[in-house]
Amino acid sequence: MSHTDIHAYLAEFDDIPGTRVFTAKRARQGYHLNQFAMSLMKAENRERFKADERAYLDDWAISEEAKLAVLARDYNALLDMGGNIYFLSKLFSTDGIAFAEAVSTMTDMSWPEYRQMMLEGGRSPEGVRSIREGR
Amino acid sequence: MARITAGVGSSHVPLLGVAHDQGKERDDYFGPIFAGYDWTREWEKREKPDVVILVYNDHASAFDMKIIPTFAIGCGERYAPADEGWGPRKVPDVIGHPDLAWHIAQSLVLDEFDMTIINEMDVDHGLTVPLSMMFGACEQWPTTVIPLAVNVVTYPPPSGNRCWALGEAIARAVESFPEDLNVQIWGTGGMSHQLQGARAGLINPEWDNRFLDLLEADNDAVRHIPHIEYLRETGSEGIEMVMWLIMRGALGPRVKTLHRHYHVPCSNTAIGHIVLAPD
Ligand SMILES: [Fe+2]
Contact A77, A33 (CB under 8 A): no
CA angle B168, B94, B7 (to 5 degrees): 30
Q: What is the pLDDT of residues B186-241, one digit of tens each?
A: 999 999 999 999 999 999 999 999 999 999 999 999 999 999 999 999 999 999 99
B76 to chain A, closest Cα gap in Å: 22
Going by the DSSP 8-state scheme, the letter that residue B258 receives in this structure is E
CB spacing of A86 vs B228 below 8 angstroms = no
What pLDDT, on the 0 to 100 scale, is given for residue A1?
Answer: 52
| Partner A contacted by B14 (CB < 8 A) | yes
Q: Where are the beta strands (DSSP E) in chain A?
A: none
User: Which position among B12, B20, B59, B125 bears the catalytic label?
Assistant: B125
CB B272 within 8 A of CB B197: no
Q: What spacing in Å lies between the alpha carbon of B270 and ligand 1's midpoint?
A: 12
Question: Residues with Cβ < 8 Å from B179, sequence gap 6 or more?
Answer: B1, B2, B99, B100
Amino acid, res. B26: R
User: From CA A92, how far away is CA A88, in angstroms rounded?
Assistant: 7
Calculate how close chain A gets to B253, using CA atoms only, in Å.
19
pTM of this structure: 0.97
Position B86 scores a pLDDT of 78
Q: For residue A25, how far is the Cα from the chain centroid? A: 15
Q: Do A17 and B198 touch (CB under 8 A)?
A: yes
Neighbours of ion ligand 1 (CB under 5 A): B 189
Residue range B17-38: average pLDDT?
A: 97
